[in-house]
Structure 1
């Protein structure tokens, strides 16, 4: 089921819940499960799935540490720890925002507010991950090169494994 279908399914479940409150507890459990599935699918599609605690927040592709943030439904995303980017420069679906409680949420396909800044998933700046199908701007290519140099300094023999994963 596509993310859009999952979101429509969850929206329909909410409408049904309001229209007929009988069996609310069971229906709420089902709704939570649908929302969790949609959130997890969105994170996976964005390449923003992170290792769940208690595992360290390390990228499996390059070994660099990311900033792990919990989402509204309890999943974790691994964000680039160094970048806060003007949102209009970030590809659609890869704009992550942090609320006042420290929870991360994805802006989805919506246009960002003028002057908005966002966070990006580490996967976009990971030198060991592919970004096939995305328009990689100069700033993103530079961030990927910086992370490649950082990973090379931190890991012996890293350049050999990096060239194999591209």
Structure 2
């Protein structure tokens, strides 16, 4: 195996590290800028269902990059960060408008639970 083949193999073989929150494995991947990102192992999802800034596309050399092209090809697959599926971390604010709606829905639910039900007229 040549030296360049060995480097390519190492880039494509990402170590799995336990998540400090849930203990499940995360796959560590490098970006073209040599930053590290922790991805959900073995999970590829249709890119069109993931917000543009959260789509991680695998490059031919094993690195990953954010894929912000909109709209995406319907067949395009992407990777996502482990934090998006971690059961022990709060979901990041992907859509601020949805977070506002979610907070208002929570307040409505609390008000409804706090209001005693009236007996039905009969």
* TM-score, with structure 1 as normaliser: 0.44
**Hey, what's the Cα distance between the residues in 1 that align with 2:79 and 2:66?**
9
**Corresponding residue SS for 1:129:** coil
**Hey, what's the Cα distance between the residues in 1 that align with 2:17 and 2:51?**
23
Cα pair 2:46 2:74 within 8 Å, conserved: no
| Greater helix content | 1
| Greater strand content | 2
Cα pair 1:96 1:120 within 8 Å, conserved: yes
2:41: which partner in 1? 81
1:94-105 → structure 2 map (5 Å cutoff) = 94-105=54-65
- Is 1:91 the counterpart of 2:51 in the alignment? yes
**Hey, what's the Cα distance between the residues in 2 that align with 1:118 and 1:56?**
18
Please state how far the C-alpha of 1:109 moved relative to its aligned partner: 6.0
Structure 2 residue runs without a partner (length 5+): 1-14, 96-122
Please state how far the C-alpha of 1:56 moved relative to its aligned partner: 6.4
Question: 1:99 and 1:128, CA in 2 relative to 1: closer, same or farther beyond 3 A?
Answer: same
Structure number with bigger Rg: 2
2:30: which partner in 1? 70
Count of aligned residue pairs for this structure pair: 81
Identify which of structures 1 and 2 has the higher relative contact order when contacts are C-alpha pairs closer than 8 Å and 6+ apart: 2
Structure 1 residue runs without a partner (length 5+): 1-54, 136-166
